[in-house]
């Protein structure tokens, strides 16, 4: 192999290695599984556009900047939020990316109603009825002081639990007193609802149940068992 060909091969290999590294490391904004206006009137178009295109995108940009060139580079999002919560930029922005990525999938324009099958049975077992679960989940969101999230999780032993976390924390993070595998999450930061509901967070929470994608929540529940 002559020098020019050898140089070309080595350069090509380096180019692919660099691009592969970029692909592995760079977290990307997920595409919404529905249009921005699809959840109207429960969640308005402007809120969805800003929430997804601005807030979520900002978490991702800051997360990518935080891991670039560090020992955390190349790690999965789950690894980051489970093992590096001592780093504030990872905790806040990694949590923000993970939480919102779940949030978009557990809503659907044709959602609402009640869960079916094994998830419905598990909810009845843990809470007594769907209505009692809804009350517990709504209360967790309504009483979360300041910004945060309400969660339905599969806890230790496979039992369903409701809890809430502050800021962009989530139950995958250790030491919160709210640990488990999240299958349903509700964003109660003001940017998630203020354009339409102002200070009426309970109204927003009630509206959320009209768009819950119980098929996706059930899928996550079965995955966690």
pLDDT band of 33, cuts 50, 70, 90: very high
Instruction: Print burial letters for 144-168: b (CB count within 10 Å at least 16), e (below 16).
Output: beeebbbbbbbbeeeebbbbbbeeb
Its CATH architecture, for the domain 42-225, is: 3-Layer(bab) Sandwich (3.55)
Contact 147, 167 (CB under 8 A): yes
Residue 225 — very low, low, confident or very high, per pLDDT cuts 50/70/90? confident
Between CA 180 and CA 122 the distance in angstroms is 15
Confidence (pLDDT) at 50 = 98
Inform me whether the pLDDT recorded for 10 exceeds 60: no
Rounded Cα distance, 213 and 216, in Å: 6
Provide the pLDDT for residue 11: 34
Where residue 96 falls among pLDDT bands split at 50, 70, 90? very high
Map out the domains of the chain as residue ranges: 42-225
Predicted model pTM: 0.88
């Amino acid at each position: 192999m002559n020098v020019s060909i050898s140089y070309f091969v080595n350069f090509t290999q380096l180019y692919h290695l660099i691009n592969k590294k970029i692909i592995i490391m760079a977290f990307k904004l997920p595409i919404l599984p529905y249009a921005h206006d699809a959840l109207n009137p429960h969640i308005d178009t402007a809120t969805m556009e800003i929430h997804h295109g601005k807030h979520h995108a900002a978490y991702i940009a800051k997360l990518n900047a935080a891991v670039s060139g560090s020992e955390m580079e190349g790690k999965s999002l789950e690894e980051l939020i489970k093992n590096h919560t001592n780093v504030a930029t990872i905790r806040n922005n990694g949590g923000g990316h993970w939480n919102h990525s779940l949030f978009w999938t557990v809503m659907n324009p044709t959602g609402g109603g009640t869960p079916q099958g094994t998830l419905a049975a598990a909810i009845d077992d843990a809470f007594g009825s769907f209505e009692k679960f809804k009350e517990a989940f709504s209360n967790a969101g309504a009483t979360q002081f300041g910004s945060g999230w309400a969660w339905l999780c599969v806890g230790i032993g496979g039992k369903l639990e409701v809890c809430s976390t502050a800021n962009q924390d989530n139950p995958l993070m250790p030491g919160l007193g709210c640990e488990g595998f999240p299958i349903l999450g509700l964003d109660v930061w003001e940017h998630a609802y203020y354009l339409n509901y102002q200070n009426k967070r309970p109204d927003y929470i009630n509206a959320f149940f009209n768009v819950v994608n119980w098929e996706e929540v059930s899928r996550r529940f079965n995955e966690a068992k």
